[in-house]
Structure 1
Amino acid sequence: MWNTPNLLTMLRIGLIPVFVGVFYVEAPWASYAAAGIFGMAAATDWLDGHLARRWDQTSPLGAFLDPVADKLMVAVALVLLVQADPRTLVVLPAMVIIGREITVSALREWMAEVGARAQVAVSSVGKFKTTAQMVSIILMLLWHSALGPWVYWLGLVLLYVAAVLTLWSMVIYLRAAWPSLSGQVSHGPR
């Protein structure tokens, strides 16, 4: 249970309050530090899964915590970005991404209950979505940096790309689950 991949996942969860604290610091270095902390968390998201598979250290705890840590970090970052820039332009993709995460998490939980969890496994579209999402958030966190406002706007464009991929991957999951959701596949009494 206390293997390296699980410790990396727990580190990612532990970085959330540090990330929030640094986000609110009013200093020239704060946006770089917040982006760095988020980037480190994003890197551990990839690294913990890679190490778990490579070292054969997958565990039920890791399978549970990894997606939770990812969703928590992204949701917190999006809420902070919306709070800092509450324009509809920022709110819409954040709303889509957070709403999709809740919907797909509920779908996966329900599919697991009926014994069909494998039908809603992570897709390649979901992996592209995650990459676009992480890069966009890092760029948007750099909005007060010396790099200039173009970095923020590039991040916002990527956030829209992530939102479109988010909707696309949600449709893929819902289509895979539709036979179970519509009652076309019987899973026994409920």
Structure 2
Amino acid sequence: MNLPNILTLFRILLIPLCVFVFYLPFAWSYTASALIFALAGVTDWLDGYLARRLNQSTPFGAFLDPVADKLMVVIVLTLLVERMGVWWFTLPAMIIIGREVLISALREWMAELGKRTSVAVSNVGKFKTALQMISIFILLLAAPERSGVWIISGVIVMYIAAALTLWSMFVYLRAAAPEFKLDSK
């Protein structure tokens, strides 16, 4: 167990705390849940940086880090879908969640074929993730009664992230396309 792995585990432990704080009946719960989410985002960056810088990359960390990321995004998006309760927010959230499931399965399958590097994280994927995090942070921060510019800004960024999500999904699928064989020969 090294520091990057401890940070990844800490990020996973922040998820139930974020959910708990999100549902607290206090005005500050929006700000607190947004700050918890931001802390998780910082630990995501920091654990990767430290793993590379300290040469502490491990198979356990390589497995757990993307799992922690996806758990945090999917669970908090689900909270926001419940809070917003409108189709025009549910749509980009479904795109993001659906893509995460599809690409996780694709990466696992490609790893079984020994070709995981052909579906490695791209710069588009990193930019998409950054926009998702920014959007989620803004939307967590925005109390429903204070909607206005914060909600609109968060939703606009979410739609941009969803578009990049589709783009990066097609990039990954195109990279894996040679492995899709329809016949069994």
TM-score with structure 1 setting the length: 0.93
Q: Residues of 2 paired with 1:98 and 1:19: CA distance? A: 18
Matched to 1:15, the amino acid is L
Match of 1:126 in 2: 125
Residue 151 of structure 1: how far off its partner (Å): 1.2
Q: Which runs of 4+ in 1 moved over 4 A?
A: 145-148
The share of aligned pairs that are identical, in percent, is 55
Q: Residues of 2 paired with 1:60 and 1:160: CA distance? A: 34
Provide the aligned length of Structure 1 versus Structure 2: 185
1:52 maps onto 2:51 in alignment: yes
Q: Residues of 2 paired with 1:179 and 1:173: CA distance? A: 11
1:69 maps onto 2:68 in alignment: yes
Matched to 1:168, the amino acid is W
Matched to 1:3, the amino acid is N
Q: Residues of 2 paired with 1:85 and 1:51: CA distance? A: 36
Q: Residues 132 and 158 of structure 1 are in contact (CA less than 8 Å); yes or no, is this contact kept in structure 2?
A: yes
TM-score with structure 2 setting the length: 0.96
Q: Residues of 2 paired with 1:175 and 1:145: CA distance? A: 40
Match of 1:88 in 2: 87
Match of 1:152 in 2: 151
Match of 2:140 in 1: 141
Q: Residues 32 and 145 of structure 1 are in contact (CA less than 8 Å); yes or no, is this contact kept in structure 2?
A: no
Matched to 2:26, the amino acid is A
Match of 2:77 in 1: 78
Q: Residues of 1 paired with 2:52 and 2:108: CA distance? A: 23
Q: Residues 141 and 152 of structure 1 are in contact (CA less than 8 Å); yes or no, is this contact kept in structure 2?
A: no
Unaligned runs of 5+ in 1: none
Residue 146 of structure 1: how far off its partner (Å): 9.0
Q: Deviations over 1:121-158 (max 9, x none)?
A: 00000000000000000000112189753112101110
Match of 2:98 in 1: 99
Give the superposed CA RMSD.
1.8
